[in-house]
Amino acid sequence: MESTAPEFPVEIENLYKSFGPQKVLDGVSLQVASSETLAVLGRSGTGKSVLLKLLIGLQAADSGSIRIHGSDIASLNSGQLNELRRRMGFLFQQAALYDSVTVEENVAFPLRRYSGEPASRQKERVRELLRSVGMEAHAHKMPSELSGGMQKRVGLARALVLDPDILLFDEPTAGLDPITAGEIDDLIVELRERRKLTAIVATHDIRGARTFADRLVLLREGKIVAEGSFADLQKNRDRFVQQFVGSLG
């Protein structure tokens, strides 16, 4: 694996992915700069989640290349890929908390395996992260006792526990009420300001993307149809782009 820190920690080139006859990603190329928050927008089923899963190696692309910190993930063996994954955090759409263990144990799960720190320090770190997402009081609860928004917060704490430098969010506000969705958006903004992470957020929530994203890309039928700041997208005359961003005025 290359150890130099490239200007673009995430580089995607000509990415194709199909499921049977259904083409999900059709030649997507992207670069995400260090400390940039990129929102990947699009209607449901346009390949946003698939793009994130390809980035972290949960699925394999049909063709094209993905370079994370300069390493082509297709060329890594499972050990190298796992090592790279520890530098990335992933917040799943439904949070994907381990339902047989408590909130605290969920967050501590990766830490126990990969941190050489003593148990007391690990516990302190878990508490600190839970506090930062407003979930410290629920540390001993089981995931089934939490609301959707609370589960997302815990999922976020878990994604951050190994101090990643790239964070991937899969529909962080899907299924949440507007107030809770706003709170999650604020957390993303706070992360951007405080940790200077490189973040990619797959969402169809244009309102949220406007608050936290430095740059937006709009996917349609597996292709990028628009890219730029929110203001750039507003100026775009394409009917689909207008339909997507127009509602916010």
Partner 1 sequence: MEIAASNMGTEASGRPGSAAGRMLAGFFDWFGLMGLFCARLARAAVQPPYEWRELLRQCDAIGSLSLPLVALAGAATGVVLSMETHDSLSRFGAKTMLPAVIVFSVLKESGPIITGLVVSGRVGAGIGAELGSMKVTEQIDAMDASGVDPYRFLVATRVLACILMLPLLTLAADFFGVLMGWVANNLGESISIRYFLQSGFKHVDFGDFLPSTLKTAVYGLIIGAIACFEGMRTKGGTEGVGRSTTRSVVLASLFVILADVLLVRLILAFFS
Residues that bind partner 1 (CB under 8 A): 53, 56, 58, 78, 82-83, 85-86, 88, 90, 92-94, 96-100, 109-110, 113-114, 158, 162
Nearer to partner 1, 3 or 247 (CB): 3
List, in order, residues 6 or more apart from 177 with CB less than 8 Å away. 149
What's the min distance (Å) between Cβ of 155 and partner 1? Answer: 8
User: Which is nearest to 106 in space by CA: 95, 119, 121?
Assistant: 95
Nearer to partner 1, 73 or 245 (CB): 73
What's the min distance (Å) between Cβ of 94 and partner 1? Answer: 6
**Residue 240: is it exposed, middle or buried by C-beta count within 10 angstroms (0-12/13-18/19+)?**
middle
Nearer to partner 1, 162 or 224 (CB): 162
What's the min distance (Å) between Cβ of 162 and partner 1? Answer: 7
Q: Could you write out the DSSP letters of every residue in 167-181?
A: EEEESTTTT--HHHH
Nearer to partner 1, 90 or 230 (CB): 90
What's the min distance (Å) between Cβ of 111 and partner 1? Answer: 10
The alpha carbon dihedral of 3, 8, 13, 19 has a sign of positive
What's the min distance (Å) between Cβ of 53 and partner 1? Answer: 7
Nearer to partner 1, 42 or 57 (CB): 57
Could you tell me the CA-to-CA distances from 85 to 58, 69, 119 in Å, in that order?
10, 11, 23
List, in order, residues 6 or more apart from 68 with CB less than 8 Å away. 9, 10, 55, 84, 87, 88, 166
User: Which is nearest to 62 in space by CA: 52, 70, 71, 54?
Assistant: 54
